[in-house]
Copies of this chain bind each other. A is one copy, B any other.
Amino acid sequence: MSNRKIPYKIHLSEEETPKAWFNVRADMKTGHRPMLHPATLRPVAAEDLNPVFCRELVRQELNDQDRFIEIPPEVWDFYKMYRPSPLVRAYCLEEALGTPARIYYKYEGGNTSGSHKLNSAIAQAYYAKKQGLIGVTTETGAGQWGTALSMACGYFGLECRVYMVKISEQQKPYRKGVMETYGAKVTPSPSDTTNIGRKILAENPETGGSLGCAISEAVEAAVTTEGFRYVLGSVLNQVLLHQSIIGLEARAALEKYGEYPDVVIGCAGGGSNLGGLMAPYMADRLAGKKAPRFIAVEPASCPSLTRGRFAYDFCDTGMVTPLAKMYTLGAGFMPAPNHAGGLRYHGMSPIISQLYHDGHIDEARAVGQVRVFEAAAMFARIEGILPAPESGHAIRVALDEALKCKETGEKKTILFGLSGTGSYDLAAYMQYNEGSLEDHIPTDEDLEKGFAGLPKVD
Shortest Cβ distance from residue A158 to the other chain B in the assembled complex, whole angstroms: 12
Contact A177 B430 (CB under 8 A): yes
Contact B386 A178 (CB under 8 A): yes
Contact A429 B178 (CB under 8 A): yes
What is the size, in residues, of chain A's interface with B at 8 Å between Cβ atoms?
52
Partner of A382, one of B155, B377, B381: B155
Q: Mark A429-441, 1 if CB is under 8 A from B, else 0.
A: 1101100000000
Give the contacts of A5-29 with B (CB-CB under 8 A).
7-9, 11, 13-14, 19
**A2 within 8 Å of B by Cβ?**
yes
Give the contacts of A149-184 with B (CB-CB under 8 A).
151, 154-155, 173-174, 176-178, 180-183
Residues of B within 8 A of A176 (CB): 430
Binding-face segment, A35-43, A109-117, A327-335, A442-450: A109-117
Residues of B within 8 A of A429 (CB): 177-178, 180-181
Q: Mark A399-428, 1 if CB is under 8 A from B, else 0.
A: 000000000000000000000010110110
Residue of B nearest to A112 (CB): B386
**A127 within 8 Å of B by Cβ?**
no
Residues of B within 8 A of A13 (CB): 7, 11
Contact A180 B433 (CB under 8 A): yes
Bound-state CA distance A1–B9 (Å) is 26
Q: Mark A265-289, 1 if CB is under 8 A from B, else 0.
A: 0000000000000000000000000
Residue of B nearest to A118 (CB): B384
Residues of B within 8 A of A9 (CB): 80-81
What are 9 of the A-B contact pairs (CB < 8 Å)? A7-B14, A8-B80, A110-B110, A111-B385, A155-B384, A173-B430, A177-B430, A181-B429, A423-B424
Q: Which residues of A contact B (CB under 8 A)?
A: 1-2, 7-9, 11, 13-14, 19, 73, 76-78, 80-82, 88, 91-92, 110-112, 114, 151, 154-155, 173-174, 176-178, 180-183, 377, 380-386, 421, 423-424, 426-427, 429-430, 432-433
Closest 10 CB pairs of A and B: A1-B73, A174-B426, A177-B426, A8-B80, A154-B381, A177-B430, A112-B386, A181-B429, A110-B110, A11-B11
